[in-house]
Structure 1
């Protein structure tokens, strides 16, 4: 069995789940902010949906993305590329920058869920709609950098 291809496939599946959740959660926040005043029954429903999306889909898929990604790096370094120097190539640094951004965005979304649960509404529905595609844009840049080894 080709373990590298299996791990790569599982990594891609985990990334898809992570991105899907991080693109959907801001939409929930937009609807929550605009239609569910704090303390209402609808507000409580949104809080449950948002918490479950983070706990059941977004958090586990991020963890799996990291695990499979680190395994791929290890296999690349020890069995395919013959060293760790590819980690300093511009295409890989682009991917690492994307990973840092997506991790920070994940943390921002988790923090926003806590604020909404406390009844705070620091961001508007317009903000959440304008930013819900950020993970997709980051993913496009990362995939193009990796698949073409663009920038070096």
Structure 2
């Protein structure tokens, strides 16, 4: 199995990067949809239903599969000997940041359910502030992996 993983390293890495890009696009866009949903849309209106549809499809059709494939390809990469040095701080920083990114994804999914139930309590400003979190986590991840510091 290790030989197969090592021989497939570049393919696994390519699909990991593709998955991360798709996931990050959703993590940047969904909170922005929530900002507009909170600030511009009246609950129960046709536009409310439209926003709920867009949010659901983004989460279910793009973000969830992208997150899962990011994890799968990332775990495969970790399984290749010599790729990750677990004695170095960068590997732990990246791991913690990816876990935080996943928790943020779950938080966004829970907020979508709040919109569906009509119980959203987060303001547009709150969603704007939360929209910065994936950027901060991305900085930690990219610097950790590239600089290996």
**TM-score normalised by length of structure 1:** 0.89
- Report the secondary structure of 1:30's partner residue: helix
Aligned length: 144
- Equivalent-residue separation in structure 2 for 1:100 and 1:142 (angstroms): 11
- Equivalent-residue separation in structure 2 for 1:42 and 1:35 (angstroms): 9
**Where does the alignment leave 5 or more consecutive residues of structure 2 unmatched?**
1-5
- Report the secondary structure of 1:87's partner residue: coil
**Superposition deviation, residue 2 in structure 1:** 4.9
Q: Report whether the alignment pairs 1:14 with 2:19.
A: yes
1:53-68 superposed matches below 5 A: 53-68=58-73
Report Cα offsets for 1:104-138 as digits up to 9, x if no partner: 10000000000011112211111111221211221
Match of 1:149 in 2: 148
Match of 2:108 in 1: 109
- Equivalent-residue separation in structure 2 for 1:90 and 1:32 (angstroms): 40
- Equivalent-residue separation in structure 1 for 2:7 and 2:146 (angstroms): 19
- Equivalent-residue separation in structure 2 for 1:88 and 1:49 (angstroms): 43
What is the RMSD computed on CA atoms of the aligned residues?
1.5
Greater Cα offset, 118-127 or 61-70: 118-127
- Of 25, 31, 39, which residue of structure 2 is paired with 1:26? 31
Match of 2:122 in 1: 123
- Equivalent-residue separation in structure 1 for 2:87 and 2:102 (angstroms): 20
**TM-score normalised by length of structure 2:** 0.91
- Equivalent-residue separation in structure 2 for 1:125 and 1:88 (angstroms): 42
- Report the secondary structure of 1:39's partner residue: coil
- Runs of 4+ aligned residues of structure 1 deviating over 6 Å after TM superposition are none
- Equivalent-residue separation in structure 2 for 1:68 and 1:8 (angstroms): 7
Match of 1:5 in 2: 10
Report Cα offsets for 1:52-75 as digits up to 9, x if no partner: 000011000000000000010001
